[in-house]
Amino acid sequence: MNRRSTIRRLFTRLPRWKRMLLAGLMLALVLGLVLSLALLAWPTRHSTPPAAQASNGGFAGLGRAAEGFTQARPGQVLRFPEDHGAHPGFRTEWWYLTANLHDEQGRPLGVQWTLFRQALAPPLAPRGTSEAAGMTNPWASNQLWMAHAAVSQGEEHVVAERLSRGSPDGLAGPAGVRAAPFAAWVDDWQLTGTVPSALSSTADALSQLSVSATLDEATRYRLTLTAKGPLVAHGEAGFSQKAADGQGSFYYSQPFYQAEGEVTLNGETHRVSGRAWLDREWSSQLLGEAQQGWDWLSLHLADGSKLMAFRLRGGAADEGNAQDDSADYLSGSLISTDGILTPLGPTELSLTPLAESSVAGRRLPTRWRLEVPGQGLDLTIAARNPNRWMTTQVPYWEGAVTVAGPDGRPRGEGYLEMTGY
């Protein structure tokens, strides 16, 4: 109070013009302040509080609860060729092809072709705001298709992605899958059955395929795949459990492809040949609520047998005997040369990271030890090159691996996928 009255006294003691000047200066100052404040406030005028983040639900939302979708349950028999096609009642589905190839000079070259289907809403949900009277709307679809392709050799790793919405029933759209004659496509990328029609009644639709993709102007591939063995169903006749609480998926594979074709990588064309593996899997809730991601292996062993193994990280322990360290869920399949499949339960195999690499700003295990004591297998698996990060909308690691025995001798090759890092 005292101070203020002093100021006032000083102010009133000033001659009139000084008072006017002072007042004018104050006014200019205040206006300047207001203006600069307005300036500061302006850019944020339009900003709105960030929308609440949807709950994560594990890697790519695969752990979200699945009301309204069909649940994968054991006991259902796989039917072909119908099950080669899409299962819109389930939320997630994929056609997953990886190929360990070698070029004319014997240098290893990896190829990936993957088509994912994701339902944006349960099939019974209303499709749009309303159906216009008498008009079909080909754009209305709850299905999202996502295709990934990769070609990698040495330091080179070219990745591409294509997205599309689903097509209406009875109309061929830019993306989709047809069970017979088999075809899966997004834009000009396609995986097509080439079984001659004369054989179509006896041979499986997936036994002969042609796959092609154009990643960019300088990278593309076209391969023909010939199955040298039968389809194999994982887990309980195709039901593959993915968590201790019984969550799981339908899962079968064709691991016996002989691949031939042409790959152009960054402008250089190679004749290639090698082995390929196709996975078919669909479910509505692949991961348990607490699972973060998985590490998955498909191996072509030197003796002609095949080995599939995966580790789902977290959520395996029941609530009663929660043990933090052993919370991973492991499973696998050993497939003999003639296609006999031996399921490997959580206790029958172990998968241990040996060394990590720094990839795309993350730490990822790129050297593993896979033990199946009951089958006398003790394998060391190492990425051919740690630089195999898939820079897609849902990023993950996918690359070729070498397999070695305990003595260090090569025991085969395969593919490793690591998600949720």
Q: Which residues bind other proteins (CB under 8 A)?
A: 3, 6-7, 10-11, 15-18, 20-21, 24-25, 27-28, 31-32, 35, 39, 42-43, 45-48, 50-51, 120-121, 125-142, 144, 163-165, 167, 171-174, 185, 187-188, 214, 217, 393
Which residue, 135 or 198, has its beta carbon nearer to other proteins?
135
CB under 8 Å to 363, separation ≥6 — which residues?
356, 357, 421
Q: How far is the CB of 32 from other proteins (least distance, A)?
A: 6
Q: Helix, strand, coil: what percent of the chain each, to 5?
A: 15, 45, 40
Rg (alpha carbons) of the chain, rounded to whole number: 29
Three-class SS of residue 272? strand
**C-alpha torsion sign, points 67, 72, 73, 79:** positive
Gap between the terminal Cα atoms of the chain: 63
Least distance to other proteins from the beta carbon of 48, Å? 5
Residue whose CB is less far from other proteins, 132 or 355: 132
Q: What's the min distance (Å) between Cβ of 27 and other proteins?
A: 7
Contact predicate 379/401, CB 8 Å: no
In the complex, minimum distance from the CB of residue 3 to other proteins, in angstroms, rounded to a whole number: 8
Q: Identify any residues that bridge with 351 across adjacent strands, giving them in sequence order.
A: 370
Pick 17 or 319: Cβ nearer other proteins: 17
Distances (CA, A) of 100 to 153, 164, 186, 396, 400: 10, 28, 23, 19, 7
Which is closer to other proteins, CB of 53 or CB of 105?
53
Shortest distance in whole angstroms from residue 141 CB to other proteins: 7
Where is 135: in which H helix or E strand?
A: none
Length of the chain: 421
> Shortest Cβ distance from residue 261 to other proteins (Å)?
18
Give min distance, CB of 180 to other proteins, in A. Answer: 20
CA distance 185 to 140: 19
Determine contact, residues 151/388, Cβ cutoff 8 Å: no
DSSP 264: E
Strand 306-313 to strand 268-283: parallel, antiparallel, or no bridges (unpaired)? unpaired
Q: Which is nearer to other proteins, 15 or 75 (CB)?
A: 15
* Closest approach of other proteins to the CB of residue 389, in Å: 16
**55 and 64 Cβ atoms separated by less than 8 Å:** yes
CB closer to other proteins out of 41 and 322? 41
